[in-house]
Amino acid sequence: MKITAVKTAATVGHGMHLWVKVETDEGITGIGECVHGGVQAIALIQQLQAKLVGRDPFQIDAIFEQLRRQNVFNGGFAGALITALTGIELALWDVKGKALGVPIYELMGGKFRDEIKVYADCQVEPGMDFDDIKRVLDDMLARGFTAFKIDLDIFAYGHSGSEVEGFRKDRFNYTAGPWEHERMVRLAEMARELAGKEIDFAADVHTRLDVPSAIRLAKDLEPFHLMWLEEPVPPENVDAMREVKQSTTTPICAGENLYLRHGFRDLIESQAVDIIMPDIPKCGGLSECRKIAHMAEIYYMPFAPHNVSSPIGTMASAHVCATVPNFLALEFHWLERDYWSTIITDKEDIIKNGFIKLPDRPGLGIELDETVGREYQYPGTTWFE
């Protein structure tokens, strides 16, 4: 079998959802997805196609590493190039599984679990009062989720860019003043009150605090027994993250902005966090993220992947989550997306009662409905050409 073409299509989603299709001379086609690479990743995939045509699609790790090393001076450590390679890698796994007639998880050593626990990222916005937040969380709980996450930070001026009433802050300063700090603590308290003690609950501040603000927040959140506090400080400084972690009993989680196992090495080896959260369709793909999970498992560190993908990337992530012992929970970021269940050919939600049951069909186990996808095509992009 040989690769004959590599094509892309993109839809509007969490920024852009970029799908990669790998075609072969035996008529088997694989689908992959990558996120946060933007139009740069599209251009890179188009450029890489010449080096992929004629290759054996079964040689997944060798293809990934060869292309990465050949482009070491063009971003072969992080960023859009790694994301582009990730989309290709996911599609190659789908091809291989289909060709051999087995699910991807079987090619990775088999399953530790049949179902993947999913946590819902709830859209709690700045300015919401208790009743607004209650409606969001009640809807999430009614759908059967047993774990969720909310955003505590205010994004300086709100998601829309407009100023939040009563909130004054320099856009670039990481210090949380009294008003912001108390609001974050109260929001976490409200969420715990609404969800009760039996529901897992995480909180995200999107790297927007300095060390003293992060330590103060983490300590004040201890009574609420969070599943984790996510990325309390910027990711560039592992020592700063470790200082926060060592100051509190609130578990600290980070990693969505890192790439490859090399990017996670210092975070894991220095035990600067309690939980790691690589974004599988962004930071290196299925094989690479299994290696990252295994590195963390040596330190008894849970693996809870970040995920803003469509059902394609989400299911690909679920295959990895099934094959590593230290999996904790997988993110779901689409509570209010119109096409979550219609964009795949099965026309049903892959998440039921807060869990993904892995399919026993070959490859990824689900297929993209291109007709539906094209209705949401990202402006200025081509569609599998």
Work out whether the CA dihedral 240, 250, 175, 170 comes out positive or negative.
Answer: positive
Residues 105, 107, 111, 114: what is their CA dihedral angle, to the nearest 10 degrees? 30
Choosing from 36, 181, 225, 306, the catalytic residue is: 306
Comparing CA positions, the residue from 32, 18, 17, 22 lying closest to residue 1 is 22
Catalytic residue (choose from 206, 262, 294, 333): 206
373 phi, psi to nearest 5 deg: -55, -40
Give, in order, the Cα–Cα distances in Å from 194 to each of 201, 204, 329: 11, 18, 21
CA 363 to chain centre: 20
Using alpha carbons, list the distances in angstroms from residue 261 to 285, 287, 355: 11, 10, 27
Tokens of 206: 């999107």
Q: Is 14 a catalytic residue?
A: no
Name the one residue in this structure whose structure tokens are 């004040």: 220
CA-CA-CA-CA torsion sign (156, 157, 160, 166): positive
Question: How far are the Cα atoms of 56, 86, 91, 135 from residue 278, in angstroms, in the given order?
Answer: 28, 13, 19, 30
- Cα angle 326, 332, 335 (rounded to 5 degrees) comes to 160
Q: Active-site residue 306, yes or no?
A: yes
Distance separating alpha carbons of residues 334 and 314, to the nearest angstrom: 11
Active-site amino acid positions = 206, 306
